Amino acid sequence: MPRLPLTVTRWIALATLLLLSIIPAQAAELAWMDGKGAMHSLQEYKGKPVLVHFWASWCGPCRQEMPALTRWLKTHPEVTIIPVSLDSTLEDARTFLDENHFDLPAQLTDSAQAMGMGARGLPTTVAIASDGSITARQIGTLPWEDQAFSDKILGMLKP
């Protein structure tokens, strides 16, 4: 097969980059159940930036991260966070939160929902812009007590 001249290859690469830059970001979609059994979705938060945090009571890193996350949230009540458990039952999540005195709502989703948001491990935190697009995703624990990290997160969540 004949090789394309370098200038044609560059034009093809440039055209591809331009096309990718005008394709809108995939909208984040997630459904979960709250502690009362009511279903919710991210559509309820449209127009508002949010953090979605996937965790489970059986996840060692999640258990280690939870104290710092809850302290951070207490100092930043302006942040909307949706902590969603991947436990087997809502009761498992509720028991863990209650026993450890974590002031977070017990909410539950399944692994298919989490995978759809790009959660390939736990914990996973996803930042969603006010237009509903995913702006950042972190798999693994986060340094919630680090001021530079905190400032970065708060900057990402400005409407």
Domain membership of residue 128 (yes or no) is yes
Rounded to an integer, what distance in angstroms lies between the CA atom of residue 40 and that of residue 17?
Answer: 36
pLDDT given for residue 12 in this prediction: 43
Determine the structural domain holding residue 109 and report its residue range. Answer: 25-156
What value does the CA radius of gyration of the chain take, rounded to a whole number of Å?
A: 19
Asked if pLDDT for residue 69 goes beyond 60, the answer is yes
Q: Tokens 């709502």, residue?
A: 105
Dump pLDDT digits (tens) for 89-114: 999 999 999 999 999 999 999 999 99
Chain centroid offset of residue 150 CA: 15
pLDDT given for residue 28 in this prediction: 83
Domain membership of residue 60 (yes or no) is yes
pLDDT given for residue 9 in this prediction: 42
pLDDT given for residue 2 in this prediction: 55
| CB atoms closer than 10 angstroms to residue 40 | 16
Domain membership of residue 16 (yes or no) is no
Q: Give, in order, the Cα–Cα distances in Å from 133 to each of 22, 46, 141.
A: 14, 10, 22
Domain membership of residue 17 (yes or no) is no
Model-level pTM? 0.82
Domain membership of residue 139 (yes or no) is yes
Exposed, middle or buried, 141 (CB in 10 Å: 0-12/13-18/19+)? middle
Rounded to an integer, what distance in angstroms lies between the CA atom of residue 62 and that of residue 98?
Answer: 15
- Work out how many domains the chain is built from and give that number: 1
Q: Which two tokens stand for residue 74?
A: 């207490």
Q: Which residues contact residue 148 at a Cβ distance below 8 angstroms, ignoring those fewer than 6 apart?
A: none
Beta-bridged to residue 128, according to DSSP, are 50, 134
Exposed, middle or buried, 30 (CB in 10 Å: 0-12/13-18/19+)? buried
52 close to 126: Cβ distance less than 8 angstroms: yes
pLDDT given for residue 141 in this prediction: 96
pLDDT given for residue 159 in this prediction: 66
Asked if pLDDT for residue 41 goes beyond 60, the answer is yes
Q: Which two tokens stand for residue 56?
A: 């489970």
CATH number (domain holding residue 109): 3.40.30.10
